[in-house]
Structure 1
Amino acid sequence: MNSIRENPEHLGKEEQASYLRNKVDVDSHEMVPFHFWGEEFGDVGDFLGKLDMKASGELRAGNSMLRPDISGDVTPINHDTVWNIKGPGAPSAIDLSRRPEVMEAMGIERQLVFPTFGLIGLILYYLPNPHEYLIYDPEGVDHKRLGKEACDAHNKWAARITKATQSKTRPVGMVLPDSIPEIMKQTEELLAAGIRGIMLPAGSPPAGTSPADPAMDPFWELLEKNDIPLTLHLGTEFAFMSSLKWPNNVPAFYPSRVSSAEFQVTPYHTSTLHFCMENYLVCMVLGGVFERFPRLRVGIIECAAHWVGPLAERMDNLAGQFVKRLADLSMPPSGYLARNVRATPFYFEPVDYYIDRYPELAQVYAYATDYPHVEGGIESDKIFLEKLKGRDEAVKEGFFRSNGLFLLPD
């Protein structure tokens, strides 16, 4: 397969730009299959790997974690494998010590890494009946305890990988926000372990209160002063809906064969996955969090980007109706989105249209591969470059590099 890096003589000046050789990727994953969970994540991983969870998808299909055919992380690293192989069989899906070499092959300088195993932990911890979603036998399973243990195991793994890759690859640390003292304790421990990004579940109010509650300010201050981004990622929104039954018994909404516990690939889920992210940001923007902490960094990851501009419009319009209540805000709500928030469009979205329609929000949109998930697409850098064809070089550099650096600072 031809590539930008293999055939530069066939390409123009635009395709050889430095931002394509040194991209910043704000969304990737580990994809350790079930039978390796014990080896990577310890006893809790071994136990969960044997639960026979059916929500992973069909055997060997797409993002399925049920891959008994895989004997290890042995796929060679080259242009074809890193862009075309998806799921646990992709290079460095299991062994993250190989990820810097994968990144080099993809032209990526820095990369955030989000959990697969740890996400199962969040689902176990927060859903009242997680067996109905993950589809396993709940007999004898203390899902709350196991969920916390799984999140703890992910964090230990994340600290180890961060150190091993010298922060070029940055797995996020997971915080269970049950109380403010616990939030502070967990975050301080993660920072002490070298973690460079924090992930909260997006569907649950942190510590049972609003993100804009002044009681949360010590947490936002801790992140701000340490240049640590807060990330809200797809797959943590379940608790936002009071019921998970809206798509039930509708054939058009049945999960596709490439669905996973993280992403139910259906028209319903893809159309609604951003709802709780908007809710979180409305609280933070209109509640003054970004006014009080102007250097706070927030990433909304793998939740599409079509909603960014309309949300900015709605908040700006409403700010004109609540002038007295929002008197502490020093600029329009859209200004806080542009300054403090980054969001990742899917490769099939018209990001060029978003930027043309909302040029003041151009710096919000950041490149992400979603490696090695199916929904990340094939050679997404080429797809996005084609969409941005004819746009200013500064816009392209921002999308592929500098916008993402906001979430992966030095």
Structure 2
Amino acid sequence: MLRQLTACLVVLVAAGLAWVWFVPGSTSTLANMGITLPFAVASADGGAAQGTASSRGGRPGGRGPGMRQANVVTSAVTLATINDRLSAIGEASAERSATVVSPAGGTLAEVMVRPGQIVFPGDTIARLDADAEQIAFDRAQLAAADADAALERTRGLAQSNVVANTALTAAQLAADTAQLELRSAEMALARRTILSPIEGRVGLIQVTPGNYVPAQTTVTTVDDTTSILVDFWVPERYVGAVTQGMPIAVSPTALPGQVFRGEVSAIDNRVDPSSRTLRVQGEIPNDAGELRAGMSLAVSLDFPGDQYPAVNPLAILWSAEGSYVWKYNAGKAERVMAEIVQRNSDGVLVRADLETGDAVITEGLLQLSEGAEVNLLDGPDGSGEPAAQVAS
């Protein structure tokens, strides 16, 4: 056991001496750690690198005339914006839509429209067989006319005191009853005609003339698509950002490359507790009729977003206090704490005391210390401000 420990110690000492002797800047690294060597080691440029604080001129993090500056490469800090766009999938629906049903049961006599036709409120969609109802209406008209005539005769006789007032009252009641029967027959006859309740485009006809149609059977649908409504859901954290009237853009899956613009028309009054999302409704003008109800739409909304400095991923280092970067400042290295906000493919967004155009060191990081003088090989020096980049 003692021989093994002695052999391990010898190997470690030899490795340490080899590192001090052959690795450039090793003595300065030990000096920064507070370790002073009792001997001098030849540096890579032929000078003597001293392992004492006095050889560095007594400046913390500084380098004496016999020590080589670290060579570094920098990249510029840019400005990145996140949370500035929301994408969602929505479903289109008509601004107004009606399901046309048969108000009464009977044999379907004829269909007056064809699919795709534009109809207006009150236009006839189809007719049911109405022979019996027409006869009942004609009979009610005759009965109402006869009751009105009897009432006029009775009123004249009552003025001449030929009949009592009770006869006039009975004649008035008979006339009113006949009018009610006439209105009932007229309503029954009207229910044999199926009308469009709104203006819009007719859908497929779902019944065939000649067949018996029960009451409340769907005949067709009518959609008013002059404007399209799109329902979509946004995450809970956007509740305070989405407002009525804000612009939206939609891209139909069926029409690649085309973008239609509209605005938010309605916002639900509660968040869905199961999905933690808020239902929002947008309105898209559709005068050309290119959009149809039921289409799948990709919806996007733009927001002001949050802006953060973006740095090269190679510049990020870690310590016990957290992540940080080395900032190149007037030929020296300056340590800046940088809290990571988001990692993107082209940069890391950080919360740090950095401005657009600042230079952060991306290469030559291992031999840096606070305030150490460095030699810039490539990259900006922080004196200029490049154009800001936006990363969504």
Q: Same fold (TM over 0.5)?
A: no
Band of TM-score, shorter chain: under 0.3
Structure whose residues are more often strand by fraction? 2
Tell me the TM-score normalised to structure 1 length. 0.17
Query: Comparing both chains, which one has the higher relative contact order based on Cα–Cα distances under 8 Å and sequence gaps of 6 or more?
Result: 2
Larger Rg: 1 or 2? 2
